[in-house]
Structure 1
Amino acid sequence: MSTRFFLTVSAVAVLAAAPLGAARAADEAGSSPSDQGGGITDIVVTAQHVEESAQRAAIAIDVVSAEELVRQAVSRPEDLSKIVPALSITNNGGPYSVFFVRGVGNSTLNAYSDPGIAFNYDGVYIGRPSSTSGTFYDLERVEVLKGPQGTLYGRNATGGAINVIPRRPQIGETSAEFIASYGNYNALSAQGAVNLGVSDSAAVRLSGNYVSHDPYLDDGTGDLDEFGLRAQLALELSPAADLRIAADYAHQGGVGSFSTYLGSATPNFSMSGFTGYTFNPTDFGPKNGILSPESQAWAGSLFVRQAGRAGRFTSGVPYNDNDYWGISAELNVDVGAGTLSVLPAYREADLDNLFTAGMNGAKTREKDKQTSLEVRYAGNIGDKADIVVGGYYFSERIKTNTYFSQFTLVPYQDFETGTDSYAAFGKLTYELAPGFKLTAAGRYTWDKKKFDGVSDVYILFCGNPGANPPNLCPTLPFIPLVDSAAELRDFYADAGIPVVNVPLYVLPPMAGGSQTAPFVLNAPLTISDQKLDNEKFTYRLAAEYEFSPTSMVYASYETGYHSGGFAFAKGLETYDPETLDAWTIGTKNRFANNTVQLNIEGFYWKYHDQQISQFGYDLGTPPTTVFLTRNIGQATMYGFDADLQWLATPNTMLGANIQYLHSNYDSFTYYVPNQGPPPPTTCGTSPTSQVINGSTVSLYEVDCSGKSALNSPKWSINLFGEQTIPVGDDYKFVVQANGRYRSAAEIDGSFNPYLKPGESVVANASVAFGPEDDKWSVTAFVNNIGNDRRLSTVSMVTNVNAFIGTFEPPRTYGVRVAMKLP
C-alpha cells in the first residue's frame, strides 16, 4: 500500500486524537459524560423481517445510521460507496446508478434487463435502477446486506440488497427538525421533517429535501438538482393492529451527464499483419467534459473509418426531467403468537432525459409502472422456534421510446416489456441447545417475462468498410441528432444520400451497387411476443452459537438467483438466469464492558452463468452497436471483512472497517463481429464463426478468463474517529475524521491496463459545535481533502476506438446547520 495511505491514516488519527487531553481534563473536572458513556450503542435492524440488534443478527450486514448519512452528505445511491467498503455504486449518466457488492452486480441501464442488487425503499422493491434517486432524506438507517438474499427478498438479489428505511411517524409526539448546508460549487442541501401527534392513536410525518450543486466539469455537466417529498400517516387501529400509509414524490432535473475523453486506441500493422494497439491518452483532467472546446477538437480529429472522414462533433445537450412517485401501506396485526404483516405498494416513474457519454445524444422517454404485494407472518412456535412465512407478488410494465445516436449508427427503439413474479418463502430458526440455533430458509420464485419491440436501425457507410486503404467521403454528413427515423430519412434525402435495405457494396453495378458510394443502411430488428419463464428454489442453511450475551459465531450456506431477460441485439435476443452459491463464517463480539466491538466475517462465493451488461456489437449482418446483457461464465470471490469500534473514553470513538477481496473470472468468454483487427483488449482473441439466424457470421471469441472481477478492489479500508470536547456544562465541540483507502481495481470490460484506476485515498473531516442536548449544531466540513478524483467508469466509443470515463467528485467543503424542536 502506498505512502499516501499511511499519511492519510496518520492524519485521521491525529484529527481524532488531538483533543484527547482537553477531553480528559474536562472529564476530570466533573463535566457530564457523553451520550455514549454507557458503551457502544446498538442499532436495531429489520433485515430478517423481525426487529433485532444488528450485533445479534447472524447475517452479513452493514448498517449506516441517519447521523452518518447526513455527515457523509449522502443524497444519491452512489454516495453510499463512501461509507460501506463492500459496496460499489457508480452513476452512468442521467438517472442510472449501477450497484456492485463484493464484485457481484450488473451494469444494467436499459428497461429490458434487471439489476443484480435488490434496492428496497421503505420495504418496497424498486425494479428500475433509474428510480432509486430522491429517497435519501429523513432516514432511520440504510441496511446493506452482503451476499445472495434468496429467501426473504424476492427479486434479483444475487449479490445483496440495499434497504433504505425512512423515519416513521411517532404517535404522541409533536416535533420538527431541519438540516441545511451550503458549500463550494454553490452546493445547497436542505432537508426537514415535521411529526404531528394528531391524537392518541394517530400521527402524521411530513418530510422533504432539496439538493443541488453547480457542474463539476468545465462543459457545464456534472451538476445536481433534485428534490423529494414524503408524507406518512400512522394509525393504531386497536391494541392489536396498526396501519401506516406512505406516499412520496421525487423530481430529478439539471444537466446530469458527465464524462471525460481518456484517449484512443490505434491499431498497428506490420508486413505480417496486425501487431496490437497503441493507446494515445488525451491528458485531459477530470474537470474536462466531452462538450468542452478542447474535447470537441480532439474528437473531431479522429478518423472514422466507416464514414471515411474525421470531424465528428457532439451536438447533444444533456438534461434530466425525471419524476418518480409511489404509495404504499403496511398493516401489522398481532395474532397471538406472532404478527401478520401486509404490504401493498404501487410506484410510477416518468423519465425524459438525454445524455452524451460517447454519443451525439442518447434520449429516453420511458414510463415505468410497478405493483407489489407482500404478506408474511412472523412469530414463535413454543419457546424454542421462530418462524417467518409469506408470499410475494411483483408486476412491472414498461413502455419506452429511445434512441442512441452514435454518429455512424442510430437505433430508434420502441418497445414494451413486462414482468410478473411470484414467490413463496419461509424461515425457521430452532434453538437446539441454550445459545445454539439452527436456521433453515427457502424461497420458490417464478418469473414470467415478455417483450415486444422494434429497433429501426440506421448505419452510415462510406462505400465498403473493408476497403484498404479506407474509402474517403470528406463531405459525408454524420448521422444527425433528430428524434425520429422519419426526420433522419428526410435529412439524407435532402443531402442526396440513399437510404437502402441492402448494403450497396454487396450489389453488382447493374443493380446500383458501388464499392465507394456513400449510403445509409436501414436494418430494422423486430422482436415480437418474446416470453421467458424462469423458476428457481433458493435456500439458506445456517447455524449460530452465543458464547455469552456479547459474543457469538455463525456460519451459513445460501443460494441466490437472478432471472434471465432480453437484449435488443440480433443473435443475442435472450440470456439465461445466473445463480450464486455463498459460504459465510463470522463472529460478532463486544468486550471491555461494551466499549470494544470486533466483528470478523469470511466469505466464499461461486458465481454461475454470470450476466454482464455493457456496450458491444450484436451478431447481425452488418453488426450493430447496442447495450446488451449476456452470460459470460463463472466467477469465484472470497475474502474477509473486519469491523472494529473502540469507545476509548466516554468522549472518544475510534474505528476501522477492512475488506479483503480476491476475485477471479474462472470463465469469461463472449463474441464480437470480425471486422478486421480484433477489439482493443488484453483478453485473448481468436477468429471463429457461428450460424446466426441461418447465416454464417465471422466473429472473434474474446476470452477474459483469469481476470479479476469488475469493481472489486483487493483492499478497501475505512478509518474513522470522533472526539467530543465538552465546553462548560452545557456545550460541546465534536471533531470527526474519516478516510477511505481502495487498491487498484478493474472497471473496464476490455481490461485495458491504461484504463485501470490505481489506488486511492479519500479523507474527510468536520468540526461541530452545539449544546449537549443536540437541539442545534453548526458544523464546518470538508470532503475529499486531497481532491483525489478516482476514475469510476469506462466505456468505449466503438467507431473510433476512443474511451470515455467518469471520475468521482472533487473536494467539497462548507457549513451545515441543524435544529430540532422542541
Structure 2
Amino acid sequence: MTKGTFGRAALAALLTTVAVPAMAQSQATTTPPEDTKPAAAQDTTEVVVTANRREENLQDVSGVVQALTSDQLRQDGIVELRQLQAAVPGLSIANQEGNVEIFIRGVGSANNTELGDPGAAPHLNGTYIPRPRGLGLMFYDLERVEVNKGPQGTLYGRNALAGTLNIITAKPRLGQWGGYTQAEYGNRNSYAAEGAINIPLGQTIAARVAGYYVNRDYGFKNVSTGAQARDLKPAGLEENYAGRVSLLFQPNDRLSVSVIGDYGKETGTGYPGANIFAAVQATGLRPEDLDLRRVVYRGLQGDMSNELWGVQGKIAYDFGTFSAEATGSYRSVDFYQVNASSDFTDWPGRNLNTVLYDNFSGNFWQTRSQSQVYELRLFANNDQSLRWNLGGFYFKEDQQVGYLALADRGYCCYSGTEFTMPDVKGESYAVYLDSTYDVTDRLRVIGGIRYTNEKKSRYGIGGNWALTLGGEDYACCFGTRLGTEGFRPALLDRPNFNVTGLTTPRQLAQFLIEGIATPGARDTLIQQIGAIANGTNPNGTCIDRPDIDNGFVNCPARNPSNTNGGFSYANLAIPGQQSGSAKFNFVDWRAGIEFDLTADHMLYAKVSTGHKSGGFNDSFNGSTIPEAFQPEDLIVYEAGSRNAFDLFGRRAIFNLTGFYYDYNDQVFQDLTCINRDTTQTPPVCNGYSLVNRNIGASRIYGAEAELRIKLPGHYALDLNAAYLDTKITTGTVADARAQDNSAGGNSPLVSLVGNRLPLASKMNLSARLSQWFDAGPGRLDWQALLNYRSSFFLTQFNEDDIVFLNGTRQSALAAGFPDRQPGYVTLNLGLGYTIDKFRIEAWASNFLDEQVSQKALVGSSLNIRFLNDARSYGIRGRVTF
C-alpha cells in the first residue's frame, strides 16, 4: 500500500505487555500472565465479566453474555472486529463506507450518520462510544471482549437497544516488568505487528504502552481493462496503526486512579461495496453464483483516512460498604473517504472493453466528531446483601458531516447532491438506580430504572447541485464534467453555509463554485459558470467539447443578447437550508428474580427494556417530511438457567435461555414526496426522498444454549447455539426497488407484515474444538472454530416480488434485487507451539473462503453489497517477557 513503511511495524513491535486473563475492570492484579497457556488449558468456569457494572463470574449473570479473552481471539484467527461474529451467534457486524454497523439478534441500526445513532451500543472499557467509525483500531492488546445480548437500557443506557459490545483493554500491573512482541505475515502480502510493555514506576504506579500496525488486503480485484481504470487499486486495502498509553496509580487498597490515552489512524482505499444490479439483470444469476470480489472500477482512486484519538480517566474509591467511581472520556474522530467507484460486479461473458471508464461519478464522505462522556456512580460492594448502583450520566457530542455524490457526464439538469452539516449537536443526561437484593441465601430479586433526557440540533445544507445549460435555439442540454482527476470537494471547508436569500444567478453560481476545493483536471463546471459568478457574462461560457456533447447540441451563435458565446439559458439550483432540533425523554427499567437450585445451578426470569435515540430527516422546501423521528423501544421477556457440573472428572458448563422481544416504534426508511406541485389539481409530486419513520413493529422470540466441556486427552469443546424467529407485525412503506422516475420518483406501497428482520438467521451455531499436549521441549495446541449460519435477508423486502405502479409484477431476481443470503459455514483454524516464553502460531480465517454479503443497499438500479473478508491465513511469532 501507499503511505507508510514497514518501519511502523517495527515501531509497533517495540511497544510491548503480557496478554492477561479477565481481571477487574477498575483494579490492577498481580495474577501471573497466562499469555502462553493454550486456550484449551484454561479454566472454563472462571470467566469474569462486568455486564452488571460490577465484576462477576460469568455463571452468576442472569442473561446471555459472551466473553472472549485476547488469547482466545488470537488463537481463533479473529484478527479484526467484524470476525467476532464467527464466535458469537446472533451477532452481525458490517462496515459500510466506514460505518461499523452492529446488529444483535436482528436488532440494530444502519443509520450511523448525523441523522441517527447505532442501535447496539459500543463501549471501550465500559465508556460509551457514539460514533463507531474506526472501532477496529481499538482491537489490540486486549483483556477481553464482552458481547451482552438483549437491551441494556438500565445500566448502559444510551442506544443499548440491541445490547452492548464492550472492548476491554489490558491494564497496567503494579510492581511488574513484562510485555510481549509479535509479528505476523499472511496471504495477499498482508503483515502486522503488535506489542506492549508494562513498566512499574514505583510500588504504587504502573504504566502500560502498547502499539499496533497492520497492512491488510481484503481480497477484492480490479478487473477493469480501460487505460484510465486498470491501475486503480481496489477497495479493501488497509494500512492502520495505533498506540495506547495506560497509567495506574493505586496508593492503597481503597483508591485507584487510571488514565488511558490512545491514538490511531486508518488509511487505504476505503470500504465501499460492489453494485451487483447489472450483473444479476444481465445473467439472471443469483449473487452466490457470481464472484462479487471481481469488480469493474472507474473514476477516482478510492482513498480513505480516519484519524482517531481519545482520553479516558477513572477515579475509584472504596468507602468500605460502598464505593464511588467517577469516569470521564473525550474522543475525536476525523474521517474522510473518496469511494472507490465501482461500475458493477463483473460477470461471465461481459465485454469489459465496452465500459465507459472515463466516468468519474462518485461519492465523498467527511465526518468529524468530538464527544465527551462523564459518569458518576456509587455502588455497594459485593459483600452486601443489597448490591446497588446509583449513577448519573452526561453525554455531549459535536459533529460536522459532509457528503457529496457526483453524477459525472450528466447531459441534462443534474450534476450532484450535497448534504453538509457544519454544526450538529447532541446532548444527553440520565440518572439510574439498579439493585440486586438477597431475599434468602438462594433467592435474589433484581430491579432497576433509568431516566434519560436528550436533545439534538443540526444546521447545514442539503439538496441538489443542478445545472441546465442550453445550446443553439434553446436546445437541451450541455453536460457538465465534475470530479475528474484531482477533484476534491470543499465540504466542511466551505466559506458559507447560509443559503437563505441566495436567488440570483450570480449568487447561485458563486455558491456552487465555493463547493469545489480543488477542480478536477478535466472538469468544466467552473469554466461554464465562472463568468456568471464573477459577473462578466450572465449566460456563462459555452464549451462544446465531445465528452459533454450529447451529439446534437451546439453552442449558440453570438448575437446581441449573447455577445460572449454564452448559453441560450443557464438555470442553476443549489442545496437548500437544513436545520432542525428535537428533544426526547424516556424511561428504561428491568425487574427479575434469580434462584439457586444448588450452588452450581441457577434459574432466572426477568423483564428489561431499551431505547434507541430518535433522530432527524433531511428537509426540503415545501415537503411534508417530519423533521425528526422518535426513539425506538424494546421490551424483552427472558428466562433461563445457568449450570455447572462435573463431567469426566472436570467442570463443565451448560446454559440455556429463552426470550421474547416486543419491538415498537420501529424505524423504517420510506420514500416521501419532497417537491409537491400544488398548482395542479390534484397536486403532483415531482421528487421523492428516503426518510426515516416510526411506522414499524416486530416480534422476536428464540433461544440460546451454551456448552463448555473439558474432555479426556486435553480436548475442550465449546458450543454456542442460537435460534431466532423474527416477524414484522406492522409496517407499510414505498417500495424503493420500483421507483418510477417518469412519475417523479413515485413508488408503489408494499406491506412488510410477515417479513423477517434483516440479518436475522433462524439458526446460528458456533463450535470450537481444541486440544493441547506436550511435544518435545514445549507444548503443542490446535483448535478449529466452526460457525454455521442459516439463510437471512439483507433488506426489509425479503426478496418479495415487485409490483410496479402500472400493475406489472416481476420477481426480485429478474428485477435485479435478490436480497437473500444463503446459509453458509465458515471455518477458522489455529495451530500453536510454545517453548517457555516463545510461541509460534499458524492461523486461517474463513478457511473455506465463503463469500458472504453482510449488508446491502437497494434502490433504483442499485443493489450494493458489503462483503466479508476473503480467506486469510498466515504465521505469527510471539515473545513474552
CA shift for structure 1 position 670? 2.3
Gaps of 5+ in 1: 1-32, 268-276, 292-313, 464-471, 498-516, 680-686, 688-695
Question: 1:639 corresponds to which residue?
Answer: 702
SS in 2 for 1:55: helix
- The code of the aligned residue for 1:649 comes to P
Letter in structure 2 aligned against 1:603:
F
1:349 alignment partner, SS class: strand
Q: Give the secondary structure class of the aligned counterpart of 1:794.
A: strand
Structure 1 position 537 matched with structure 2 position 587? yes
Partner of 2:575: 524
* 1-structure distance, mates of 2:771, 2:41: 13
The DSSP-based 3-state class of the residue aligned with 2:526 is helix
Contact 2:324 2:378 in 1 (8 A): yes
Amino acid at match of 1:524: P
Query: Could you say which residue in structure 2 is the equivalent of 1:780?
Result: 842
Counterpart of 1:341, as a letter, is E
Q: 2:847, 2:41 → 1: CA distance?
A: 31
Aligned equivalents of 1:804, 1:585: Cα separation in 2: 39
In 2: Cα distance, 1:703 partner to 1:157 partner: 28
Which residue of the other structure, out of 153, 156, 168, is the alignment partner of 1:153?
156
- 1:331 aligned onto 2:367: no
**Equivalences for residues 688-699 of structure 1 within 5 A:** none
Would the alpha carbon gap of residues 435 and 461 (structure 1) be closer, same or farther in structure 2, given more than 3 Å must change?
farther
Cα distance 1:369–1:802, how it changes in 2: closer, same or farther (>3 A)? closer
Compared CA separation, residues 42 and 211, structure 1 to 2 (3 A): same
Aligned to 2:226: none
Structure 1 residues 813 and 35, CA gap change in structure 2 (3 angstroms): closer
Please state if 1:586 is matched with 2:640.
yes
Q: Deviations over 1:227-274 (max 9, x none)?
A: 11000110014442110011000100011234333234999xxxxxxx
- State how far apart, in whole Å, the 2-side matches of 1:230 and 1:62 are: 25
**Equivalences for 1:199-598 in 2 at 5 Å?**
199-214=202-217, 216-219=219-222, 220-264=234-278, 284-291=290-297, 314-356=298-340, 360-380=361-381, 383-407=384-408, 410-415=416-421, 416-459=423-466, 476-477=479-480, 480=483, 483=489, 485-486=512-513, 489-490=525-526, 493=529, 494=541, 522=573, 524-528=575-579, 530-570=580-620, 571-592=625-646, 594-598=650-654
Q: Which amino acid aligns with 2:675?
A: G
Aligned to 1:20: none
2:70 is matched with 66
Q: Distance in 1 between matches of 2:741 and 2:795?
A: 17
Which residue identity does 1:531 align to in structure 2? S
Cα distance between partner residues in 1 of 2:59 and 2:196: 29
Mapped to 2, the partners of 1:651 and 1:201 lie a distance apart of 40
Equivalent position SS for 2:827: strand
Q: Post-superposition shift, 1:458?
A: 2.4
> Residues 46 and 619 from structure 1, CA distance in 2 versus in 1: closer, same or farther, beyond 3 angstroms?
same
Matched-pair contact (CA < 8 Å) for 2:469–2:477? no
SS state at 1:133 partner: helix
Deviation at 1:412, TM superposition (A): 2.1
- Counterpart position of 2:827: 763
Secondary structure of the structure 2 residue equivalent to 1:69: helix
| Distance change (3 Å), C-alpha of 1:460 and 1:43 | farther
Count of aligned residue pairs for this structure pair: 709
| Partner residue, 1:84 | 88
Q: Distance in 2 between matches of 1:598 and 1:678?
A: 56
Residue in 1 that maps onto 2:112: 109
C-alpha change, 1:768 and 1:716, in structure 2 (3 Å) is same
Report the Cα distance in structure 1 between the residues aligned to 2:723 and 2:769, rounded to whole angstroms.
Answer: 22
CA positional deviation for 1:195: 0.3
Q: 1:253 is matched by which residue type in structure 2?
A: T
Q: 1:736 aligns with which of 773, 780, 783?
A: 783
Counterparts of 1:796 and 1:98, CA distance in 2: 17
Per-residue Cα deviation, 1:300-350 (whole angstroms, up to 9, x for no partner): xxxxxxxxxxxxxx4132211110001111111011201100001111111
Cα pair distance change 1:193/1:118, threshold 3 Å: same
Residue equivalent to 1:620: 675
Q: 2:662 aligns with which of 599, 606, 610?
A: 606
- Give the AA of the match of 1:541: A
Q: Aligned in 2, Cα 1:37/1:609: closer, same or farther, shift over 3 Å?
A: closer
Question: Does residue 732 of structure 2 align to residue 669 of structure 1?
Answer: yes
8 Å Cα contact 1:633-1:666 kept in structure 2: yes
1:805 aligned partner = 865
Match of 1:719 in 2: 767
Sort the Cα spacing of 1:357 and 1:279 in 2 relative to 1 into closer, same or farther, 3 A: farther
Q: Name the CA distance, whole Å, in 2 between partners of 1:284 and 1:641.
A: 34
CA distance in 2, matches of 1:776, 1:674: 56
- TM-score of the superposition, structure 1-length normalised? 0.80
Equivalent in 712, 717, 721 of residue 658 of structure 1: 721
Asked whether the 8 Å contact 1:797–1:804 carries over to 2, the reply is no
SS of equivalent to 1:289: strand
Partner of 1:703: 751
Does structure 2 retain, via aligned residues, the 8 Å contact 1:358–1:797?
Answer: no
Aligned AA for 2:291?
G
CA gap 1:520/1:44 in 2 versus in 1, 3 angstroms? farther
Give the drift of 1:462. Answer: 11
Q: State the SS of the aligned residue for 2:439.
A: strand
- How far off is 1:401 after superposition? 2.9
Inter-partner Cα distance in structure 2 for 1:150 and 1:676: 38
The structure-2 alpha-carbon separation of the partners of 1:569 and 1:675, relative to structure 1 and needing over 3 Å to count, comes to farther
Q: 1:98 to 1:206 in 2, by over 3 A?
A: same
Question: Are 1:569 and 1:628, in contact at CA under 8 Å, matched by a contact in 2?
Answer: no
Does structure 2 retain, via aligned residues, the 8 Å contact 1:224–1:253? yes
Which amino acid in 2 is paired with 1:808? N
**Cα distance change, pair 88–266 in 1 and its aligned pair in 2 (3 A):** closer
1:257 is paired with a residue whose SS is coil
Aligned to 1:162: 165
Q: Deviations over 1:13-44 (max 9, x none)?
A: xxxxxxxxxxxxxxxxxxxx989779534111
CA-based RMSD: 3.1
Distance (whole Å) between structure 2 residues aligned to residue 114 and residue 626 of structure 1 = 20
Q: 1:518 to 1:580 in 2, by over 3 A?
A: farther
* 1:636 CA drift (Å): 0.8
Distance 1:381 1:674, change over 3 A: closer
- Secondary structure in structure 2 of the residue aligned to 1:707: coil
TM-score for the superposition, normalised by structure 2: 0.75
Q: Distance in 2 between matches of 1:339 and 1:207?
A: 30
Does residue 47 (structure 1) correspond to residue 51 (structure 2)? The answer is yes
| C-alpha separation in 1, matches of 2:819 and 2:198 | 49
* Structure 1 residue 477, shift from structure 2 partner: 4.7
Q: Aligned partner of 2:865: which letter?
A: G
Q: 1:461 to 1:147 in 2, by over 3 A?
A: farther
Deviation at 1:702, TM superposition (A): 3.0
Q: Quick one: distance in 1 between partners of 2:771 and 2:455?
A: 54
The alignment partner of 1:142 has SS state of: strand
More strand by share: 1
Amino acid at match of 1:814: G
2:457 corresponds to which letter in structure 1?
K
Shift of 1:586: 1.1
Closer, same or farther: CA 808–39 of 1 in aligned 2, 3 Å: closer
Change (3 A) 1:623 1:396: farther
Residues 525-552 of structure 1: CA deviation (Å, up to 9, x unaligned): 2123x21110011100011111122211
